[in-house]
C-alpha cells in the first residue's frame, strides 16, 4: 500500500471509530461544549458573539471564536436544535479522521516514520480513550488539530522553498497558526513553533513573515477581549473572564514544584494502568526519558511540529488549570514521540560496544514495554466499560430528569441558577447562571461563600435554584445559604439522588426575634 493509501485508511478508521461512539447525550454536560454551542446559536441567529443565557448577555471574552463560528455555519445549514447536534458530532468525527490521515501522510513525507508505522501509531493515539472522550463531545480539539497540522505542513514547505514562494508559504503557515490560536487559546504555541522552526532554519525573512501573519489574527482578538472584558461580572471571571483575569487571580503561587507532578499524574494513570499508582514514578522515569529523546528526534525531522510540541507542553506546565484535557489533544503526537524515542535509544545502544550498549537497550525496553502493557490494559478496559461516553450519558440522565419539570413548571421568563447553565438555556429556553462561584488561588479552585452567592442571585434576579446532587460543587454553599438565611430558598421539588429545585424569595421574612429576657 502506498503512502497515500495508508493515510486514507488511517483517516477512515479514525472517523469510523469516533462516529460509532457518538452518544445520545445532551449538549453541555461538560460545560464548555454547551457554551460553544450556545455561542454558535448566538452567531447563527445574528446576535453576535455573546452569552445570551446570562443576564445582560455579556461578550464571550473567554472562548476563542473559531470553533463556535464553525458550528454556526453548520447551524445555518440545519437550524433545528437539538436535531442538528447529530451534524455537529459528525463534523467532529470527520475532523478527527482528517487529522489522523493528514498526520500519517505528514510523518511519512517528513521521513519521520515509514508510512505503515506512522499509520499504526497515529491510529493508536487517535483512538485513545481520553482523546475519544474529548472528540465525542462538542469540543474544539478536532478542529484545532486539523488547523495545527496545516500550519506544520506549510512551515516545512517554506523551509524547502525559495524566494517569493517561501515567503508565501511562511505567511500561510503563520496565518493558519493564528487560526489555531483562535480555535484554542493554547494555539499560540503553534504560532511560536512555526516561528522558531523558521528562525532556527536561518530563514529570518520567512520567520518574520509567519509571525506577522499570525499576529494579524491574534492581536484583533486580544484587543476585542480587552475592550469587552468589563462586561463579565467579577464573580464570574473564573468561568467567563479573560485568561489575564485568571492569572491575576491565581497570582505567582500557581508556579511551583507541583507543576510537573500535576502534568505527569494523568499520563501516569493512562500509561501504567497495570500497576499501582505508588509505582508510577519508578516506571515513569525511563518512559519520560525515552519520550524526551523522541521529542528531540521529532523536532529534528519535523521542526515545526517539534517546536510546537515543546511550547505547548511549556504552556501546559505553566497553566493554572488542570492539564488533563490539554494533554489528551496531544495523544497522537505523544504516541509517535514515545515510539520514535524507543527506536532512537535502541539504535544508540546498538552503535556502542561497551556497557552503554546494554544500558541504553535496557532503557529502551524499560521505557516502552510498561507503557505498552499499561496503555493496552487501559484501552481494553475503557472500551469494555464504554468510558469515552460514560460521563456524558450519566450527566445527561440527571438533566433529562430535571428538564421536564423546568419546562412544565417555570415561566419562560424565569432565570435559573444551576450547574451547566448553557445546557439549561439550550434545552429549556430559560436564562441561567451558575450556582457555583469560584476563583483561583494558586493552582486551587476556591469557592465563594453563601453571602457572595446570595448577592449574585439577587443581582441576577434568579427565580429558581437547581442542585444536581450532594456531590456537586454547589451543594454545600447552597445548603449553607439556606441555613444562613431561612426562607430565602424554598424547596419545590426533590428527585432521587437527591436532586432538588428551590424557589428564591429575594425578600425573606426576618428571623423571629429572641424571647424577651426576664
Residue 341 domain flag: no
Cα–Cα distance list, 366 to 262, 275, 342, 345 (Å): 23, 14, 9, 11
pLDDT at 18 over 60: yes
- How far apart (Å, rounded) are the C-alpha atoms in residues 400 and 57? 26
Whether residue 407 contacts residue 400, with contact meaning beta carbons closer than 8 Å, is answered with no
Report yes or no on whether pTM surpasses 0.85. yes
301 pLDDT tier (thresholds 50, 70, 90): very high
261 pLDDT tier (thresholds 50, 70, 90): confident
Residue 489 domain flag: yes
- Residue range 434-463, pLDDT digits in tens: 999 999 887 778 899 999 999 999 999 999
Residue 165: per-residue pLDDT: 96
507 pLDDT tier (thresholds 50, 70, 90): confident
Measured from the Cβ of residue 68, the count of other Cβ atoms closer than 10 Å reads 25
pLDDT at 142 over 60: yes
pLDDT at 219 over 80: yes
Beta bridge partners of 479: none
Residue 442: per-residue pLDDT: 75
Identify which of 41-50, 104-113, 357-366 has the greatest average pLDDT.
Answer: 41-50
Beta bridge partners of 441: 444
Residue 436 domain flag: yes
Lowest mean pLDDT among 108-112, 246-250, 294-298, 460-464: 246-250
64 pLDDT tier (thresholds 50, 70, 90): very high
pLDDT at 400 over 90: yes
pLDDT at 1 over 70: no
Q: What's the domain range around 426?
A: 410-504
List Cβ neighbours of 396 (8 Å cut-off, separation of 6 or more): 23, 24, 25, 26, 29
Whether residue 460 contacts residue 55, with contact meaning beta carbons closer than 8 Å, is answered with yes
Query: Average pLDDT for residues 392-414, to the nearest whole number?
Result: 96
pLDDT at 325 over 80: yes
247 pLDDT tier (thresholds 50, 70, 90): confident
pLDDT at 241 over 70: yes
Residue 274 domain flag: no
Question: What is the rounded average pLDDT for all residues in the chain?
Answer: 93
Residue 97: per-residue pLDDT: 98
14 pLDDT tier (thresholds 50, 70, 90): very high
- Residue range 71-97, pLDDT digits in tens: 999 999 999 999 999 999 999 999 999
Residue 452 domain flag: yes
pLDDT at 518 over 60: no
Q: Where are the beta strands (DSSP E) in 367-509?
A: 415-417, 431-433, 438-441, 444-447, 464-467, 489-495, 499-504
Residue 98: per-residue pLDDT: 98
Residue 500 domain flag: yes
Whether residue 89 contacts residue 138, with contact meaning beta carbons closer than 8 Å, is answered with yes
Q: Is 431 helix (H, G, I), strand (E, B) or coil?
A: strand
Strand 415-417 and strand 431-433: the pairing is parallel
Residue 137: per-residue pLDDT: 96
Query: Average pLDDT for residues 376-383, to the nearest whole number?
Result: 96
Query: Average pLDDT for residues 141-153, to the nearest whole number?
Result: 98
Residue 294 domain flag: no
Residue 457: per-residue pLDDT: 97
Lowest mean pLDDT among 285-289, 419-423, 508-512: 508-512
The three grid cell numbers given for residue 490, joined into one nine-digit string: 424554598
Largest Cα–Cα separation, the chain: 99
Q: How many domains does the chain have?
A: 1
In eight-state DSSP terms, residue 508 is P
Residue 462 domain flag: yes
Query: Average pLDDT for residues 140-144, to the nearest whole number?
Result: 98
Amino acid at each position: 500500500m502506498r503512502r497515500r493509501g495508508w493515510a486514507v485508511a488511517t483517516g477512515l478508521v479514525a472517523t469510523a471509530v469516533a462516529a460509532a461512539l457518538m452518544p445520545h447525550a445532551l449538549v453541555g454536560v461538560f460545560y464548555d461544549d454547551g457554551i460553544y454551542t450556545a455561542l454558535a446559536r448566538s452567531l447563527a441567529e445574528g446576535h453576535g458573539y455573546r452569552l445570551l443565557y446570562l443576564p445582560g448577555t455579556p461578550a464571550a471574552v473567554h472562548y476563542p471564536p473559531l470553533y463556535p463560528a464553525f458550528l454556526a455555519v453548520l447551524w445555518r445549514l440545519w437550524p433545528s436544535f437539538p436535531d442538528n447536534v447529530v451534524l455537529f458530532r459528525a463534523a467532529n468525527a470527520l475532523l478527527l479522521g482528517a487529522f489522523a490521515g493528514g498526520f500519517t501522510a505528514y510523518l511519512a513525507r517528513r521521513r519521520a516514520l515509514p508510512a505503515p508505522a506512522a499509520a499504526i501509531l497515529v491510529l493508536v493515539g487517535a483512538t485513545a480513550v481520553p482523546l475519544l472522550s474529548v472528540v465525542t463531545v462538542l469540543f474544539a480539539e478536532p478542529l484545532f488539530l486539523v488547523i495545527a497540522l496545516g500550519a506544520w505542513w506549510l512551515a516545512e514547505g517554506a523551509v524547502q522553498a525559495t524566494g517569493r514562494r517561501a515567503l508565501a508559504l511562511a505567511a500561510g503557515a503563520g496565518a493558519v497558526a493564528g487560526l489555531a490560536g483562535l480555535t484554542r487559546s493554547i494555539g499560540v504555541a503553534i504560532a511560536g513553533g512555526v516561528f522558531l522552526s523558521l528562525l532556527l532554519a536561518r530563514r529570518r525573512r520567512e520567520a518574520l513573515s509567519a509571525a506577522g501573519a499570525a499576529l494579524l489574527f491574534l492581536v484583533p482578538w486580544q484587543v476585542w477581549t480587552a475592550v469587552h472584558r468589563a462586561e463579565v461580572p467579577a464573580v464570574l471571571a473564573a468561568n467567563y473572564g479573560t485568561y489575564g483575569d485568571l492569572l491575576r487571580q491565581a497570582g505567582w503561587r500557581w508556579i511551583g514544584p507541583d507543576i510537573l507532578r500535576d502534568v505527569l499524574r494523568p499520563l501516569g494513570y493512562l500509561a501504567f494502568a497495570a500497576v499501582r499508582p505508588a509505582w508510577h514514578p519508578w516506571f515513569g522515569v525511563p518512559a519520560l526519558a525515552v519520550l524526551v529523546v523522541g521529542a528531540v528526534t521529532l523536532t529534528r525531522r519535523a521542526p515545526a511540529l517539534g517546536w510546537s510540541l515543546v511550547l505547548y507542553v511549556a504552556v501546559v506546565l505553566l497553566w493554572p488549570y488542570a492539564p488533563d484535557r490539554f494533554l489528551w489533544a496531544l495523544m497522537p503526537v505523544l504516541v509517535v514521540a514515545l515510539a520514535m524515542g524507543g527506536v532512537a535509544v535502541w539504535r544508540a545502544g546498538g552503535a556502542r560496544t561497551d556497557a552503554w550498549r546494554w544500558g541504553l537497550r535496557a532503557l529502551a525496553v524499560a521505557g516502552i514495554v510498561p507503557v505498552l502493557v499499561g496503555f493496552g490494559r487501559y484501552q481494553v478496559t475503557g472500551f469494555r466499560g464504554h468510558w469515552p461516553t460514560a460521563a456524558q450519558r450519566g450527566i445527561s440522565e440527571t438533566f433529562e430528569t430535571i428538564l421536564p419539570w423546568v419546562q412544565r413548571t417555570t415561566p419562560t421568563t424565569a432565570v435559573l441558577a444551576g450547574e451547566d447553565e448553557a445546557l439549561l438555556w439550550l434545552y429549556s429556553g430559560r436564562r441561567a447562571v451558575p450556582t457555583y462561584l469560584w476563583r483561583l488561588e494558586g493552582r486551587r479552585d476556591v469557592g465563594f461563600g453563601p453571602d457572595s452567592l446570595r448577592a449574585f442571585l439577587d443581582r441576577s434576579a434568579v427565580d429558581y435554584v437547581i442542585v444536581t446532587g450532594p456531590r456537586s460543587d454547589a451543594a454545600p454553599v447552597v445548603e449553607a445559604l439556606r441555613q444562613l438565611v431561612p426562607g430565602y430558598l424554598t424547596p419545590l421539588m426533590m428527585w432521587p439522588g437527591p436532586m432538588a429545585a428551590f424557589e428564591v424569595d429575594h425578600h425573606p421574612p426576618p428571623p423571629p426575634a429572641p424571647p424577651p429576657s426576664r
